[in-house]
Structure 1
Amino acid sequence: MTVKVLVAYATKNGSTAEIARTITEVLREEGLEAELRPVADVGELQEYDAVVLGSPLYKGQWHKDARRFAKRRREELAQRPVWLFSSGPLDASASERNIPPVPSVRRLLIEIHAKEHATFGGCLTEDARSWAARMIVKAGHGGDFRDVKQISAWAQHVGVTLRGGAAPRREER
């Protein structure tokens, strides 16, 4: 039986969607059936054996769509293996060290018994949608800090864990 994984995400400018797409592709390469969906388009979770859920960080919070999804689906998520990821640091810090989840994501991690959380570098370019984001870029604080090797390695770890059965939860809570 092939393990079916939902890779669900929220995004504002598209970079978290691209991270989720990379994760989906790697999971498929690992022999899993992986389905990519924005959280707003996710139907029932019954058909999925596992979930990877990701969101960009804004002012220390997940995107409202991801927060809403996690809150409404908390019980369903707690019944299957779940991995969480955040994107956001606009520097190389996420590639250089393990960045723990922000407090609200840490609480979610505990509530749904997620296996682990990863923080990936973010991306903010001059074509960002909001005025505030464009001002951040104009001030010289933008750029693409996503590390595809790091993202792929993490996704491969998730895939190997799912193919091999239950793995111990990471004690990063």
Structure 2
Amino acid sequence: MPSRVLVAYGTTNGSTAQIAEAIADVLRRQGLTAEAMPARAVASVQSYDAVVVGGGLYAGRWHKDARRFVRRHARELARRPLWLFSSGPLDPSASERDIPPVPGVRRAMIRLDAREHVTFGGRLEEGAKGFIARKILSSGKGGDFRDFGQIEAWAARIAGELVKEPPRS
């Protein structure tokens, strides 16, 4: 069983960080050692047996920190169990149906042989950084569309796979 799992994330306003923390909490409750960290703060993934990477979606692209993380650590990520997630739709669509990964994430999935990708709803609330975020909020389209039940169920599936898996040598 892999013992150490990294949940790395790219976020601007903290919503994706909260999702990553929720995933790490579930993994820990399932008996794994899990750590959620900002993707830009991770120097190496060598001490981890498995990795989950998430990024907020902005204008149809994954957060730049998540993109840079998968490029910088591609060789090591390809040798580990890897899952990817996105957060972003500002409507209930992510809870109602599977939303495919954006093209850049889909390419990373293929290149790194990621096991799965899921898109979760996003959150955009007053005080959000960025011109576009403020524009969206002023048009009345903000809110919190994250479904933590869905997030926790996905994390539990990951934990179930890892608990069955032999340790990496």
Q: TM-score, length-normalised on structure 2?
A: 0.95
Which deviates more from structure 2 when the two are superposed, residues 127-136 or residues 47-56? 127-136
Work out the CA distance in 1 between the residues paired with 2:132 and 2:93: 22
Distance change in 2, residues 1:73/1:2 (3 Å): closer
For residues 1-55 of structure 1, give each alpha carbon's deviation from its aligned partner in whole angstroms, at most 9, with x where no partner exists: 6611000001000000000000000000111000111011112211100000000
Work out the CA distance in 2 between the residues paired with 1:98 and 1:44: 31
More contact order relative to length (CA 8 Å, sep ≥ 6): 2
For residues 75-109 of structure 1, give each alpha carbon's deviation from its aligned partner in whole angstroms, at most 9, with x where no partner exists: 11000000000000000000001111011100000
> In the alignment, which residue of structure 2 is the partner of 1:171?
none
Q: Which amino acid aligns with 2:47?
A: E
Work out the CA distance in 2 between the residues paired with 1:107 and 1:142: 29
Partner SS, residue 114 of structure 1: coil
Work out the CA distance in 2 between the residues paired with 1:131 and 1:100: 27
**After the TM superposition, which segments of 4 or more aligned residues of structure 1 sit over 3 Å from their partners?**
none
Q: Which amino acid aligns with 1:54?
A: G
> In the alignment, which residue of structure 2 is the partner of 1:162?
162
Work out the CA distance in 1 between the residues paired with 2:129 and 2:59: 16
Percent identity, please. 58
**What stretches of structure 1 of length at least 5 have no aligned partner?**
167-173
> In the alignment, which residue of structure 1 is the partner of 2:61?
61
CA contact (8 A) 1:126 1:138 kept: no
> In the alignment, which residue of structure 1 is the partner of 2:139?
139
For residues 99-122 of structure 1, give each alpha carbon's deviation from its aligned partner in whole angstroms, at most 9, with x where no partner exists: 110111000000000000010000
Q: Which amino acid aligns with 2:71?
A: K
CA contact (8 A) 2:10 2:65 kept: yes
Task: Give the superposed CA RMSD.
Answer: 1.1
CA contact (8 A) 1:125 1:134 kept: no
> In the alignment, which residue of structure 1 is the partner of 2:99?
99
Work out the CA distance in 1 between the residues paired with 2:24 and 2:16: 12
Q: TM-score, length-normalised on structure 1?
A: 0.93
Q: Number of residue pairs matched?
A: 166
Which deviates more from structure 2 when the two are superposed, residues 104-113 or residues 35-44? 35-44
Q: Which amino acid aligns with 1:131?
A: F
Which deviates more from structure 2 when the two are superposed, residues 69-78 or residues 49-58? 69-78
**What stretches of structure 2 of length at least 5 have no aligned partner?**
none
Work out the CA distance in 2 between the residues paired with 1:107 and 1:43: 23
Work out the CA distance in 2 between the residues paired with 1:44 and 1:89: 30
CA contact (8 A) 1:11 1:63 kept: yes
